[in-house]
Structure 1
């Protein structure tokens, strides 16, 4: 049994590696061409285009790995079937369920590899690519309306140094406060850019607005402090007959209970966030009564995506039981490519529909894998029992 496992695992792993290298080479070329546009328009050095394309490859590997597992396994199993090696293994005692268990045990290893790549390598590479662009451009625009954070400060229990004065003192005696923070971008040095802070009372009346071109976030024991440069503070008086008070502060220390990790997650692209960051940010959004479904869906996709490798291996096994006259290796590989593309399309369509229809995030993330697992088991049972 050990010899059979070594034979099958070796063929599958080499085939998956070959397909992965082929796909990554193709996507590296397309990413490099995309980076060359910035080289020509913005005058970046050519090494920046190469580095940017290379840093994207861990994300590409993570996204493509279940498909490359499917195509590589189909190729390996179809080649064993065409050369009659799989038939010899079957006559030697390799039953259908034992063959399935061999592939599923290999699938667990591939799922663990997918988890490590998606949890550590891919987010790190994506963050480094964003930081490289920010250093070259001078800023990294978050797009759209930027990133929004919210903070609720209860009456008489606000953190010290988070108040109404320009430096953030004296809020505890002023009642509840709801703070909305908008960040439009980041730069290569880790600073936030184009910050707007809106402070409302419990009735929703605007009390203060703070605008600053840059801010540096420093962690504290009870949250963080934002060092705003060239801040413009606008105070709305309680009496409508009084004039708006506006002042400029060269260096403003603004205290908040939002910790540095939460701020970093909010200004990061959703694809570059790790699973713990997605979980923390989702909890923060729920606590602040903000829409968190998009981040919940991404969290469950990140948790369940490694198991897609197991589903793809189970889906590839029935191809070993097809006779050689049922089609050559090229036809079976083409079928595997179509199955992989359909899985990606279904995964994306279900994700978008879940956001539109407000479906349960974990069920929407799990549905495509369950459907293809059921399809693979049905094909496997039909081929084994009736063919």
Structure 2
């Protein structure tokens, strides 16, 4: 059995590695051509462009590995079937259940690797690409558009009970360093009572004994306060004086329940977030009565993404039971590519339909994988019984 396992795994892994490298070479070339147009602008060099393309490779591996796993497995099994080696293995005792178990073990190992890349390697490299692009461009910050990123907090540790806080971040230059920060405080009737604007903000991690609160070190601060209606005297209301006070400060420490990870999640692209970061940010949005379905769907897609490896090897196994007269290896590989493309299309369509029709995020994320897994197992059972 060890010999059979070694033969199958060597054939499959070598084919998967070859296909993955081919795809990565193609993506690297496309990314490099796209980056070449920025060379010479703001000190952006060819070395910076190459480094950016290299940092993008783990993200490409995470995106294409299920497809390359399918294509590589189909190529390996088709070659074994075409040379009658798989037939010899079957007559030597490799039954359908044992073959399925062997490929399932390979799929589990691939799922673990994909999870590690998607949760640790790819988010880190993609965040470096997004945030360190400012270093490549001589200090330009990561632009978040005209409106910036908006966050809401029910109440901070230093905020009166019943007040609401809204935070706007204009741009990011690091995982915990942000520019053009505005903090709006509203009372229980929805009236703005305070506005803090800061040129820069450094967010430290949770402080001990503060219930998980983080310290925001604001610089270049303008603190504007509006007097509440209960504190306005008739004379002030008549003359319009002293209703607004403005104070300019070099530094101001502001305590908030929003951690650097939550703020970074709101300013970075959603595909740079790990499963744990998506979980934290989804709970933050739900706790502050904000729409979280988009991030919930992305969380469940991340959580179910390792399942796609099992789906891919299950889709490839029936090709080992197709004889050469049923079609050459090229036709089988083409069929595998079409299967992979159809899975990706169905996955994207289901995600968009889930957002449009307010489906349960876990159902919208898992339905394509479950459907294709059942389809592959049905085809496998039919081929075993009839071939």
TM-score, structure 1 as length reference:
0.92
How far does the alpha carbon of each residue in 1:266-294 deviate from its partner, in whole angstroms, 9 at most, with x for none?
Answer: 33322111111111111111111111111
1:189 Cα offset (Å): 8.1
Q: Which runs of 5 or more structure 2 residues have no equivalent in the other structure?
A: none
Whether 1:97 aligns to 2:97 is yes
What does residue 131 of structure 1 align with?
A: 131
1:216 Cα offset (Å): 1.1
Q: Distance in 2 between matches of 1:280 and 1:122?
A: 18
Q: Is the 8 A contact 1:135 1:189 kept in 2?
A: no
What does residue 164 of structure 2 align with?
A: 178
1:261 Cα offset (Å): 2.9
What does residue 15 of structure 1 align with?
A: 15
1:40 Cα offset (Å): 4.8
What does residue 65 of structure 2 align with?
A: 65
Q: Distance in 2 between matches of 1:13 and 1:334?
A: 19
Q: Distance in 2 between matches of 1:189 and 1:105?
A: 38
What does residue 207 of structure 1 align with?
A: 193
Q: Is the 8 A contact 1:135 1:188 kept in 2?
A: no
What does residue 224 of structure 1 align with?
A: 214
Match of 1:149 among 128, 148, 151: 151
User: What is the root-mean-square deviation in Å for CA atoms of aligned residues?
Assistant: 1.7
How far does the alpha carbon of each residue in 1:57-96 deviate from its partner, in whole angstroms, 9 at most, with x for none?
Answer: 0010011110000000000000001111111111112111
Q: Distance in 1 between matches of 2:291 and 2:146?
A: 17
What does residue 233 of structure 1 align with?
A: 223
SS at match of 1:218: strand
Q: Distance in 2 between matches of 1:44 and 1:110?
A: 37
- Give the number of equivalent residue pairs: 371
1:244 Cα offset (Å): 3.0
1:190 Cα offset (Å): 4.5
What does residue 108 of structure 1 align with?
A: 108
How far does the alpha carbon of each residue in 1:166-215 deviate from its partner, in whole angstroms, 9 at most, with x for none?
Answer: xxxxx5xx442100101121115842011111100112111111122211
Q: Is the 8 A contact 2:175 2:264 kept in 1?
A: no
1:42 Cα offset (Å): 4.3
- Structure 2 matches for 1:256-267, cutoff 5 A? 256-267=256-267
1:31 Cα offset (Å): 1.0
How far does the alpha carbon of each residue in 1:210-234 deviate from its partner, in whole angstroms, 9 at most, with x for none?
Answer: 1222111123232122222222222
SS at match of 2:39: helix
Q: Is the 8 A contact 1:147 1:182 kept in 2?
A: yes
What does residue 167 of structure 1 align with?
A: none
TM-score, structure 2 as length reference:
0.92
